[in-house]
Structure 1
């Protein structure tokens, strides 16, 4: 079960990457920080990633950019795998490789622009939209870890945002929150413009039924989607498309047990372990 989920921490086919090289090079996020702990847990990554997308799809311009210009509907498993790999490089990869990858993403996003169904022009590299995307990702992963793996203190939650700042700036999210308080302020400011849509409902259906995990584990896939919906903040959690799709009695305890079990599984040659060996090499030289 955990092995099927952990595969999303490995590089997708054709995107092989050695997190052990170059020896001694630091990552964008500090090796002793909160982010390295959060991203090492595959359950927190899965649940947090779904929650982040729910928040992003509730923002009309971000929703249009994601739905009209990505391959999510054609191959959600591959799309999620590539997104997860990008997160691994951002947090654990050597700084030079992370900078190169982010620059490539920025160039691709510079071509993404259009008009929402409501007639509002958007472009993917708009700093306002980038701030929301970066903030929702940090919130999603951090809150999922806090709820289902280990409770984080207020200072640890804020640290997750400050640790994400170097990568956020490289993406162009110059106003992304740098603390939990700034995240809550951004959420309050953005909330009046958040809305439900058929795309949001379709996303929930896709995430529950797409062949992301093996067929015998599809029930788990749907459970993790419910866990993500349950932790999504208001006003999004009360949107018609999400209402009634949260966790049922006993679900939270099961997800927590699974997530804590995942934290005890040796990481072997996964990106966090490879990166730890790379960074440790600098201390032993």
Structure 2
């Protein structure tokens, strides 16, 4: 069972025909986040990454300028799973990649953002490299990934949750998110400030429909719809209210215990060849080092 789970989980990191990043090189070069960081602990868990990634996208799509930029300038409509995998790979490089590799990748993302601009349906101008929007995207990603791990895999203390936000700051600044939250309290302030700007959109429902329709590999496919409902359940209640995501979108009875069991299994299941394993090897540690902690 563990072997099948590991194979299925590894497929979440792999993009057919996409880039292959060697997380073992250069040997000994540190990442933007330290090997003993909360971030390394959280991002090794593919269940939390899938759920947290969907949560983050829902929050992003609630902001009309971000929503328009994402929907009109990315492949979410046509290939949502590959788009999420690319986002996941970028997160893996940001957290586990050697600093020089991560910095080069982030610079490339910045150049792509600089080319994206337009207007929302109501005529509001936006630029993908606007600091306010980059701050929101960074904040939603941190909240989604950490929140999913905390709720489903292993509870994190308030101090560890604050550490997680703070550990993201160096990478966030490289991405151009100069005001991204560095603590849970910062996130709560940012959410409260952004809430009046969020709005309902059929695009959120379209995204969720697309995510329900795509095929996820292996044993995780049997949990696909419950995992999506778990992601909606992590969205703060005031945002769900704005988006019109009612009880029908929330986890059903007995689903959360099953999802938690899967997330905890993932937390104990090393995945040879996956970024957390390779990054540990690069730092002179056993590949399964993160799974012993």
Taking structure 2 as the reference length, the TM-score comes to 0.92
Distance 1:8 1:87 in 2: 13
In structure 2, the partner of 1:197 is: 201
Q: CA deviation at 1:69?
A: 0.5
Residue aligning to 2:290: none
Per-residue deviation, residues 87-107 of structure 1 (Å, max 9, x unmatched): 110000000000000000100
Alignment of 1:155 onto 2:154: no
Q: What CA distance in whole angstroms lies between the structure 2 residues aligned with 1:7 and 1:51?
A: 20
Name which of structure 1's ranges 1-10 and 49-58 shifts more when overlaid on structure 2: 1-10
Per-residue CA deviation, residues 158-216 of structure 1 (Å, 9 max, x unaligned), is: 111111001100010000011111011000100111111010110110111123446x8
Gaps of at least 5 residues in structure 2 are 286-293
What residue is the counterpart of 2:111 in the other structure? 107
Local SS of the residue matching 1:114 = strand
Residue 272 (structure 1) aligns with: 276
RMSD of Structure 2 on Structure 1 (CA): 1.5
Give the corresponding residue for 2:289: none
The offset of 1:12, in angstroms, is 4.8
Determine which of 7, 10, 13 is the counterpart of 2:11: 7
Q: Does 1:68 align with 2:66?
A: no
Q: Distance in 2 between matches of 1:171 and 1:221?
A: 31
Structure 1 outlier segments of 4+, above 4 Å: 216-219
For the 8 Å contact 1:12–1:82, the answer to whether it is kept is: no
Deviation at 1:9, TM superposition (A): 2.4
In structure 2, distance between residues paired with 1:93 and 1:171: 15
Name the counterpart of 1:117.
Answer: 121
User: Do structure 1's residue 206 and structure 2's residue 178 form an aligned pair?
Assistant: no
Give the Cα–Cα distance (whole angstroms) in 2 for the partners of residues 271 and 98 of structure 1. 13
Give the 3-state SS of the residue equivalent to 1:9 in structure 2: coil
Deviations 1:77-135 (A, max 9, x none): 21111111111100000000000000001001111100001211000000000000000
TM-score computed with the length of structure 1 as normaliser: 0.94
Decide whether the 8 Å contact of 2:81 with 2:211 is kept in 1: no
The 8 Å contact of residues 199 and 243 in structure 2, kept in 1 or not, is answered as no
